[in-house]
Chains A and B, each alone.
Chain A
Amino acid sequence: MTWKSKDLLTLEELSASEIQTILDTASSFKEVSTRSVKKVPALRGRTVVLFFQEPSTRTRVSFELAAKRLSADILNVQTASSSLVKGETLIDTLKTLESMTIDALVVRHKCSGVPLMLANMTNATVINAGDGFHEHPTQGLLDLLTIREQKGKIEGLTVTIIGDITHSRVARSNIHGLQKMGAKVRVCAPTTLMPMGIEKMGVEVYHDLDKALKDTDVVYVLRLQLERQKKNLFPTIREYSILYGVTNERLKRAKKDAIVMHPGPMNRGVEISSGVADGPASVIDEQVTNGVAVRMAVLYLLKGEKTQGENA
């Protein structure tokens, strides 16, 4: 199939069938990463800029690997090395990059909405690699792929997302993606980390972890930004861990075959115990593996199809 939109900015804007296509494409790309020569020529001659304006290792490395395995040329533009620190505006930086005729811009930014703003101002493809508290669509997609692989389906499952919902772009992308694919989503957090009006997004709201975990198929644990304690969003890390930390004991409330996910990096012993993280229910390593496959699929669908068209 041919991909319609120029960019991937949110899961909110994707249809279920578009998500399905990305997941199917990602599944077929997984095989590439198991070869001894882990490379296909799909993006040969294309330039992909990794424009990361917020510290990130996992997502950037995952995108870089994905682009390399598709044979694209990669350019890393990061905060410390970019002219943004010299006071250049974001738009001027974009114009500079665009003048060098780039094909795709993978954007990570601390401010919500930046990838959308840039996408409206450039002909290049923009892929959102996480913006503020807004969305992290490729994370949502790799989570969906992992759930589909582990459970054989997404529709009809109950997924419980636990942690700082207010400041989580991962939570928002997952809420949109899971609901479109027919899953029921619960969110569980202390009242201080639950954003106003979240129930209007169609989720069930919980503040009691034991109730939230009851009969759930997927337990999705979010990373806690420990410094939020200083903003009075929870009294101590100790109390947070007692009330919301996922341990093997508490995991018993979930379904017997429930899986546990985490977007990383983990605070072991805070939001998740090592027993759970390293236990049989954990699919955290699979998430990382699927991250590369999903990002290959996204790059391929947005930038690769036309290459083949041109060749044919």
Chain B
Amino acid sequence: MKSILIQNGHVVDPANQIDGEADVFIQDGKIVKVGKGLKVKADQLINAKGKIVTPGLVDIHVHLREPGFEYKETIASGTLAAVAGGVTSVACMPNTNPPIDDQAIVYFIKSKAEKEGHCHVFPVGCISKRREGAEMSEVGELKKAGAVGLSDDGAPIMNAELMRRVMEYAKMHDLVVIDHCEDMDLSNNGVMNEGHASTVLGLRGIPAASETVMVARNILLAEMTGAKFHVAHMSTAGSVELVRQAKKKGLNVTAETAPHYWSLSDKSIKNYNANFKMNPPLRSEEDVAAIRKALKEGIIDCIATDHAPHSSTEKQCEFDEAAFGIVGLETLFAVTYSHLVEPGVVSLSRAIELLTTAPSKIVGINKGTLSEGVDADVAIFDITTEKKVDVNQFKSKGRNSPFNGWNLRGWCELTIVSGEIKFKSGE
């Protein structure tokens, strides 16, 4: 395998406290050395002057849709979208068909990813058999096959007794329990956040409490069981307060949020455009402010996209009938840079931490660093050139982005996965 030397870039590697100009030397698919003015011979030189060089980003909340929904996305198209966004590792959610509720599906995804994928893929296994929320899946076997966490994502675990048992059992297997926190009764078939905006639009509302009460229940169960519990796509001010208290108590509780929860609010929904429909829904401006503050204060541990591709038929229809979810892999860093780093909510190095080491730690994978000897997963970003988001240029099969037409900075130039260049902008 050939060697690569990335020269003169601004390297940001929070795991090794690097934040300044340096070179990165890659050989045989591994990081060999990071340092200033490296005197080494390499097969390929990459000039990264004026660019940001980071560990490949890690997104622990992605829907690759395969098997079962290949018309929305495949492992091939989803991982290509990932590397186009500088993401080199994804944890994929188990709401496939069949769902990832036994070893066979974990093996299927891993082998497909090996053959057709463009980045590292880490399956998340189901909490319950068939994702029905009734009986626990074979958690131990899922772990052995390579599942990095447990979730019935897309569906919450409404049965508190099941959640208790899964937490107890997952703790024994050292697996994090990830919940899509939502009380379905409170959501009551709602399609957007309940508040002034839903009242004016005449759309059925999902109250903030629908998420918050479930976060509360799950934190109480995490306290009781001692399990590792992770809040998926956190969106409300109330949830932030509960996670803050849980952390103060020293519980094993972590949380993620997605770029749309700090850059958009329920006021952004215009003309019943279903590209603004996701679950949890875009919340009030007060919630958005709380999410930004939580990112700044470290109450939220990491950023994940909840990349949820859908076909145009499922989105260009009645708002009530449209599928929940938006794509996010290809705009992840640009929205983070332009709407979190540039306004000064977090520093660049903290943003990279939220996108690399922090998510890796939650699902227990050795990713997100430029430490010597690790897989050479590297991303290079241009933070100076402003470019308009154009969904028609996406590598993902999904075009369902609320950011279409936005002018952003922070675009991926080059992505290396295990020492191989997997994406180069303009190619």
Contact = CB atoms under 8 A, between A and B. Distances in A.
Interface of A: 12, 89-91, 109-114, 116-117, 120, 131-135, 166, 169, 172, 195-198, 200-201
B317 A197 contact: no
A198 B199 contact: yes
B271 interface: yes
A12 B199 CA distance: 13
A114 to B, nearest CB: 6
A281 B407 CA distance: 58
23 contacts: A12-B200, A91-B317, A109-B318, A110-B320, A111-B319, A111-B320, A112-B201, A112-B320, A113-B318, A113-B319, A116-B271, A116-B272, A117-B271, A131-B202, A132-B320, A133-B203, A166-B199, A195-B198, A196-B198, A196-B207, A198-B199, A201-B196, A201-B199
A132 B195 contact: no
Given A197-B195, A200-B196, A120 B271 contact: yes
B316 A91 contact: yes
B28 interface: no
A134 to B, nearest CB: 3
B195 A196 contact: yes
B196 A117 contact: no
Contacts of A196: 194-196, 198-199, 205, 207
B318 A197 contact: no
Given A116-B272, A132-B320, A197 B202 contact: no
Nearest to A195: B199
Given A133-B204, A195-B205, A197-B196, 8 more contacts: A112-B201, A114-B272, A117-B271, A131-B202, A197-B197, A197-B199, A201-B196, A201-B199
Contacts of A166: 199
A133 B313 contact: no
Contacts of A89: 313, 317
Contacts of B202: 112-113, 131-135, 169, 172
B321 interface: yes
Interface of B: 194-205, 207, 271-272, 313, 316-321
A304 to B, nearest CB: 27
B199 A113 contact: no
Contacts of A197: 195-199
Nearest to A135: B202
Contacts of A111: 318-321
Contacts of B199: 166, 195-198, 200-201
A108 to B, nearest CB: 13
Looking at chain B's contact residues, is the secondary structure mostly helix, strand, loop, or mixed? loop
Given A196-B194, A196-B205, A117 B200 contact: no
Given A90-B317, A90-B318, A91-B317, A112 B196 contact: no
Nearest to A91: B316
A198 B199 CA distance: 7
B198 A117 contact: no
A100 B197 CA distance: 37
Nearest to B318: A111
Nearest to A194: B199
B318 A114 contact: yes
Given A91-B317, A132-B320, A113 B271 contact: yes
Nearest to A110: B320
A227 to B, nearest CB: 15
In this complex, the member of B195, B196, B203, B318 whose beta carbon has the largest number of chain A beta carbons within 10 angstroms is B318
Nearest to A171: B202
Contacts of B207: 196
A225 to B, nearest CB: 14
Given A90-B318, A120-B271, A113 B201 contact: yes
A286 B320 CA distance: 35
Nearest to B197: A197
A166 B205 CA distance: 10
A197 B321 CA distance: 24
A112 B203 contact: yes
Contacts of A134: 201-203
A91 B319 CA distance: 13
Contacts of B204: 133
Nearest to A113: B272
A13 to B, nearest CB: 11
Contacts of B272: 112-114, 116-117
Contacts of A195: 198-199, 205
A87 to B, nearest CB: 11
A135 B201 CA distance: 8
A112 B319 contact: yes
B236 to A, nearest CB: 14
A54 to B, nearest CB: 12
A146 B318 CA distance: 33
Nearest to A166: B199
A132 B203 contact: yes
Closest 4 CB pairs of A and B: A197-B196, A113-B272, A134-B202, A133-B202
B62 to A, nearest CB: 28
A63 B204 CA distance: 28
Contacts of B205: 195-196
Contacts of A113: 201-203, 271-272, 318-319
A120 B321 CA distance: 18
B318 to A, nearest CB: 4
Nearest to A172: B202
A114 B195 CA distance: 21
A242 B320 CA distance: 34
Contacts of A172: 200, 202
Nearest to B207: A196
A172 B317 CA distance: 23
Nearest to A231: B188
Q: Which of B196, B199, B204, B207 has the most CB atoms of chain A within a 10 A radius of its CB?
A: B199
Contacts of B195: 196-197
Nearest to A200: B196
B190 to A, nearest CB: 11
Contacts of A135: 202
